[in-house]
Structure 1
């Protein structure tokens, strides 16, 4: 329970809008609305009027916490701040801040669906990104075939050379375990419980906000014994979210 609450807090925690002194902006519209929280559902507590100066203190997604010269505080949506002027007299512009969040992501959770050979497959994935181009990823999957059921898990080291792009390829290699249980109606069928190795290549696309869609092709090798191994291929597509 504590771990779940901590993950939710990390996902929604505000970040500082700047590393140095707060940025000062001048209101050019008749007024901008200051909400009590970072969302449209929060009521408007104050307004900052035309020609008034405000300071940007924090950011949460595309909402910014600001303070007026009179000490009033509130949250303003990015679209309203785009009409303000900087101290140099130019119009305020923003980078794609949602893309910034994507590039700075650390933990990612998701699910995928596809085909394991000719059978339907479902898998759940998690990943921890410890550098811009390298991450460790874990997957657990299940294949429900006509004649048998298969469970597997594996841990991969994945590389993403062009991780600064919204659409980027990735590839990885890993190891795990593979278990195949034939239907009880099959005569003479035996269970398979073996070590597993895999190689994977795919594409990721930052869909919006904190969601990412991906597609991948994987090559699995199950080492049944010292003399025998079985090879499988799988293709999946899925969606995940990051924080």
Structure 2
């Protein structure tokens, strides 16, 4: 008897586990199309082609959202993307007009990926920098940046990997601190002295702030103190200032 009861309990547990995916599928938000039709596109962007039309009266499920684009699934299992403007105004599961919020500050706080282009100065030399980052949590992210500084006597190419700590991600103007390492390649311009190209390792610490501008854009400014480990007896120190625009997705 105990063995039969154990087997029966395991059977019920197995059936319950098998029912979990089906229960999860029923939690997707339901939408009834009240417009003449909406077009599904192959990806979340206007450059992706439309491949399927959903007619009035059909029901779809909202699977996920990426900025102002929503991934839908029809009753026949067709999946595609539609813009916020097309989806808004249709009917929810209660037959009421569907209201979908545009990007807000909450989306800025919950972002995962971001990229940007910044300009500034590295010890008086004009500096152009691009970066991409991934957020492990609202407070901690990793970034990869590439920079080019053009001075009167030399130019520098820099590649950095940084960790960025953001203690107050909920603030519209959010400060951050950064620490990282990388490489710098220096190419002298002057031909009056015998100078060779060289590549050295660097370390940097910095601070800055991000200002949420609206939708998916933000303004970013930062200062870094950079230490260059040269092959000579003394190391070099640089101050770096940058300001630019970034976007998140």
Q: Distance in 1 between matches of 2:224 and 2:116?
A: 17
Q: Does 1:83 align with 2:98?
A: no
Q: Does 1:159 align with 2:176?
A: no
Bigger Cα Rg: 2
Q: Distance in 1 between matches of 2:80 and 2:162?
A: 44
Shift of the alpha carbon at 1:172? 0.3
In the alignment, is the contact (CA less than 8 A) between 1:66 and 1:76 conserved in 2? no
Q: Does 1:180 align with 2:186?
A: yes
User: Per the alignment, do residues 55 and 148 of structure 1 end up closer, same or farther by CA in structure 2, a change over 3 Å counting?
Assistant: closer
Cα deviation code 1:13-72 (max 9, x no counterpart)? xxxxx9752323456x6x353214267774883432xxx57343334543442647x999
TM-score by length of 1: 0.67
> Counterpart of 1:47?
55
> Counterpart of 1:7?
none
What residue ranges of structure 2 are gaps of 5+ in the alignment? 1-23
> Counterpart of 2:62?
57
Q: Does 1:114 align with 2:116?
A: no
User: Per the alignment, do residues 45 and 94 of structure 1 end up closer, same or farther by CA in structure 2, a change over 3 Å counting?
Assistant: closer
Shift of the alpha carbon at 1:94? 2.9
Matching residue within 211, 220, 229 for 1:223: 229
Which is helix-richer, 1 or 2?
2
What residue ranges of structure 1 are gaps of 5+ in the alignment? 1-17
TM-score by length of 2: 0.65
Shift of the alpha carbon at 1:74? 7.6
Matched residues, number: 220
**Could you say what the CA RMSD is over the residues aligned between the two structures, in angstroms?**
3.9
